[in-house]
Structure 1
């Protein structure tokens, strides 16, 4: 709950972080582009020319240049030095991830893209008091404390995040404690995710999929239609953009809240939880991508994994191949099913149930005996219910 003066300082800090990011990214991109062209095949229009003895502008070189630039640009002195250094560290991480994880080339940021900055050190003085926190240059800020800081934990970092609904502070805590991994034990539950039923459990429960986007889709369409008529850069367009952003955040918050409540309800009577190992980003690029993104399967699996760890429930992922083609009772391969086939009926043993429930039971059986083994092991159809 910052004051108007603190809001001005936060926006000023975000603006300077954006300028530092763009300048440092341009410096790196110019250096890379100057090394791409062969000396005998230069462009006849223009070319990036940087001396051959110029070293690559990594984090250390750019951090040193940032210190020297403060003499030429006094505006840089108005922001905490470590905040700007963290921007350069983030850029360094982006270039490392580009090679290590195969991610794309970092992009330049406009005023809407830079939404947070971090204070890596808060000092040794008292900076927490009830529902107030003291941050460099911002002073004491009041905030809504979502939960009490546990005993024995130290606050190491604070990140200020600007969202459509306001400003948030994220505190990073540290504690010298070893948390053991959850061991497989207790009652196993398999989960099958889908668009027809959001979750089907191996116990036979079918949970419908809420349409988070559809509930506010008409209002969102009207606002985006008005946005086309606004002049770019105008204050009315900026106000309408904020209104659209608040609506998107409302949809996202509703989805996330439902995911957390569902994850906790599934962990009530379970000792082990198994889901399919699926990359939902592939399906999000197809013709059902809008519905897959609205359901948020990837977010739900991540939340479920965290809730299982918090509540002491063993969590593991299962090979997704053939889970809908095998009978959970007799392990008979019944062949590929069409999407319209919603009932599993085994021609061998006559077992009949909902298709998604059968898949969830196969998921449970496939890893029940293999729980605790290395992920991706070939124990696909082994069962431990006493019938095998």
Structure 2
């Protein structure tokens, strides 16, 4: 099993300056390696519908892949000796990041979905470097030993789980300081998930009036973290725009604005985790709509959709459910608000109409509650639920057979 814990770092001024210097050099190397790949891509491709009959191709060179770019690092340290101050595996991880980024652009990810063209990173956008391997005894009390950076104080707000070993460590610079993300692994934790109860199921309807409504009628109010912090954000944003570009005053105001936005993001993330935990404590199966959140975030409701953070919440809910051995199912969202949850008749409603009143069966419900019930019903007979149910029944039969055999 693999999990990640994030802690706050308390580096000294010398260590903080060294981390910033590393980030600056790694950013330059990332851009150089990415430019090398782009040069090869532009020089060696030729559109099929625009190739002339007689053409003079330049001398072709080998594709700069992961291994060939990795071999250039010793020469880099000879031509630029200051790169020798960076831990070798951290420098090698930059080559891997370039490879992953460029492969997603050309080939796509594991699902075949391609990403956009990679962009060169400015110094302010390159904020993380990774140690691909860590020693077992790297964490000593409240100090962590990072190669070539030394012992750095870390705020252990929670202890590492028993049996887990530190595999990788990623140092990140954020608006309010430095953080370290430890990737932990314990191969002894079983991957077989415990049996779930298909009857303990709830449908949730995400909204902008209320954050979510369950099929049992429970309502979670929407906190509107960004809306509440908007007045303060405007004041700080004006402070940035009034400062002269390149001045120390502007840099100070930008840091203040970054801390303000991070505070809003932290509050929203904390709310998402607590809401997901509350749902998974009550139900074994959670059903939600398979929403096109990317499309909704470009509509007139964009600010409210971003403030609610549906995508982040559903991702957290799915991850927490997987770790707990529970189930999260996404269903087709078409007409969940329009169809009557009692008789199934379509009752057209505009967006501002918040009450469902069916003229055929006299069903009267809140619009979101009606939608949540429809979402729950659409999960009935789902292939994943059927497989879980069959697995659970087969285990019950096997246990009963074993028990009878023991009695004999």
Partner of 1:352: 364
Q: Secondary structure at the match of 1:216?
A: helix
Partners of 2:40 and 2:208 lie apart in 1 by: 47
Partner of 1:169: 180
| 2:381 counterpart of 1:372 | no
Greater RCO between the two (CA within 8 Å, min separation 6)? Answer: 2
Q: Secondary structure at the match of 2:300?
A: coil
Q: 1:150 to 1:50 in 2, by over 3 A?
A: farther
| 2:45 counterpart of 1:33 | no
Q: CA deviation at 1:313?
A: 3.2
Partner of 1:222: 235
| 2:18 counterpart of 1:9 | yes
Matches within 5 A, 1:34-113: 34-35=43-44, 51-99=58-106, 100=108, 101-113=113-125
Q: Secondary structure at the match of 2:71?
A: helix
1:252 to 241, 261, 265: 265
Q: CA deviation at 1:97?
A: 1.1
Q: Secondary structure at the match of 2:170?
A: strand
Q: Report which stretch shifted further, 98-107 or 301-310.
A: 301-310
Runs of 4+ in 1 over 6 A off after TM superposition: none
Q: Is the 8 A contact 1:120 1:158 kept in 2?
A: yes
Q: CA deviation at 1:279?
A: 2.4
Q: CA deviation at 1:253?
A: 0.2
Q: Report which stretch shifted further, 284-293 or 258-267.
A: 258-267
Q: Secondary structure at the match of 1:84?
A: helix
- 1:176-223 Cα shifts (integer Å, max 9, x gaps): 133224554142111000112210111112222121112111121122
Q: Secondary structure at the match of 1:200?
A: strand
Partner of 2:33: 24
Partner of 1:276: 289
Q: 1:92 to 1:61 in 2, by over 3 A?
A: same
Partners of 1:75 and 1:223 lie apart in 2 by: 38
Partner of 2:406: none
Q: Is the 8 A contact 1:189 1:364 kept in 2?
A: yes
Partner of 2:311: 298
Q: CA deviation at 1:19?
A: 0.8
Q: Report which stretch shifted further, 364-373 or 64-73.
A: 364-373
Q: What 5-or-longer segments of structure 1 have no aligned partner?
A: 43-48, 376-388
1:212 to 225, 231, 238: 225
Q: CA deviation at 1:268?
A: 2.8
Q: Is the 8 A contact 1:31 1:50 kept in 2?
A: no
Partners of 1:313 and 1:371 lie apart in 2 by: 15
Aligned residues: 365
Q: Report which stretch shifted further, 253-262 or 299-308.
A: 299-308
Partners of 1:182 and 1:272 lie apart in 2 by: 13
Q: 1:175 to 1:108 in 2, by over 3 A?
A: same
1:132 to 123, 126, 143: 143
Partners of 1:365 and 1:224 lie apart in 2 by: 47
Partners of 1:181 and 1:332 lie apart in 2 by: 38
Q: 1:51 to 1:231 in 2, by over 3 A?
A: farther
Q: Secondary structure at the match of 1:34?
A: helix
Partners of 1:314 and 1:69 lie apart in 2 by: 49
| 2:331 counterpart of 1:318 | yes
Partner of 2:169: 158
Name the Cα RMSD after superposition. Answer: 2.2
Q: Secondary structure at the match of 1:168?
A: strand
Alignment TM-score, normalising by the size of structure 2: 0.84
- 1:311-353 Cα shifts (integer Å, max 9, x gaps): 443221111112112211122222x320011111112211110
Q: Is the 8 A contact 1:120 1:156 kept in 2?
A: yes
Q: 1:31 to 1:231 in 2, by over 3 A?
A: farther
Matches within 5 A, 1:143-154: 143-154=154-165
Q: 1:227 to 1:108 in 2, by over 3 A?
A: same
- 1:211-264 Cα shifts (integer Å, max 9, x gaps): 111211112112222322323222222111111100000000011111111122
Partners of 2:370 and 2:195 lie apart in 1 by: 26
Q: What 5-or-longer segments of structure 2 have no aligned partner?
A: 1-9, 388-408
